[in-house]
Amino acid sequence: MDVKTLVHYLGKELESIGHEYESREILENLFNQDISYLYAHDDLQVGQKTLCRLEEVIKARKSGQPLAYIFNKRSFFGRTFYVNPSVLIPRLETEFSVQELLKLSGDSFLELGIGSGCVSITMKLERPNLSVDGVDISDQAIQVANLNAKSHLAQTHFFKSNLFQEVSHSYDLIYSNPPYIRTEDMEILEDEVKKYEPHIALNGGEDGLDFYKKIIKDTPNYLNKTGYLVLEIGYNQKEEIFSLLEEVNFTGKCIQDYAGYDRVIIATRRK
């Protein structure tokens, strides 16, 4: 089979599950080549090993496995991060959080719930003088984040902690994108998310606010006087989170993402 025939075959297979737009990512990963190279050399014969891998990929994708887990990678803020099913696949919305974080001043940064480490590592690489700590309750997530830090040569300090439990410093910036799906909504998540992504990264308790409540309650003990608490939130959680901030005498503003959804809250102590 030549590349042209393979591209055509893959297109048809993806079309049958409504994922035609994923053709490019699959081809680039399969051949480890840019798509333009493949199109320019579409008469090349494809080896047996590649054909077998293609069949594996199609089978996995048809069963609902996300491409990021099939290829163990996802791009975030222009860099590639290793991912596996023990960590959330980095989201586009979270790149938006990073853009907001980068506008804030501060020398020290703490992330609660690092997952793949994509946010903390990006912060360190974009702001090399920032001291970056991050925690997660999942040992596997910490392993993945450390692997990513190593491959990006980012000097970050990741450790296991239930939110602030093992945190002993205070910081200028505290960020979290915690689990925030309401327990009853876990059932109606897309299969791809529900079946493959870690529930520990998604389930935010009965009202979806469990983690925000705990984080906001303890933040005054860990945030430096003029520091910022930055939270990524679900599109319908702004008002409740503002009320929680009010209780600790914080004030916040909410920023909408590219799609126009309430996405990031930036909070400070009330003056």
Ligand X SMILES: C[S@@+](CC[C@H](N)C(=O)[O-])C[C@H]1O[C@@H](n2cnc3c(N)ncnc32)[C@H](O)[C@@H]1O
Binding site for ligand X (CB under 6 A): 87-88, 90, 94, 112-116, 118-119, 135-138, 141, 162-163, 177-179, 200-201
Structural contact between residues 212 and 178, judged by C-beta atoms closer than 8 angstroms: yes
Q: Label residue 111 exposed, middle or buried (CB < 10 Å: 0-12, 13-18, 19+).
A: buried
C-alpha–C-alpha distance, residues 189 and 64, integer Å: 13
The minimum distance between CB 132 and ligand X, in angstroms, equals 13
Residue 46 or 255 with smaller CB distance to ligand X: 255
Any bridge partners for residue 260, and if so which?
A: none
Residue 30 or 163 with smaller CB distance to ligand X: 163
Residue 54 or 88 with smaller CB distance to ligand X: 88
Residue 135 or 223 with smaller CB distance to ligand X: 135
Tokens standing for residue 180: 């925030």
Residue 3 or 138 with smaller CB distance to ligand X: 138
C-alpha–C-alpha distance, residues 95 and 79, integer Å: 11
Structural contact between residues 67 and 61, judged by C-beta atoms closer than 8 angstroms: yes
C-alpha–C-alpha distance, residues 57 and 53, integer Å: 6
Q: Is the four-CA dihedral 116, 171, 263, 138 of positive or negative sign? A: positive
The minimum distance between CB 87 and ligand X, in angstroms, equals 6
The minimum distance between CB 155 and ligand X, in angstroms, equals 18
Residue 30 or 174 with smaller CB distance to ligand X: 174
Structural contact between residues 1 and 45, judged by C-beta atoms closer than 8 angstroms: yes
The minimum distance between CB 9 and ligand X, in angstroms, equals 34
Any bridge partners for residue 111, and if so which?
A: 134, 175
Residue 38 or 87 with smaller CB distance to ligand X: 87
Instruction: Work out the number of other CB atoms within 10 angstroms of the CB of residue 66.
Output: 20
Please spell the DSSP secondary structure of 136-162, one letter per residue: ES-HHHHHHHHHHHHHTT---EEEE-S
The minimum distance between CB 5 and ligand X, in angstroms, equals 38
Instruction: Work out the number of other CB atoms within 10 angstroms of the CB of residue 178.
Output: 20
The minimum distance between CB 145 and ligand X, in angstroms, equals 9
Beta strand pairing call for 262-269 and 223-232 = antiparallel
The minimum distance between CB 117 and ligand X, in angstroms, equals 8
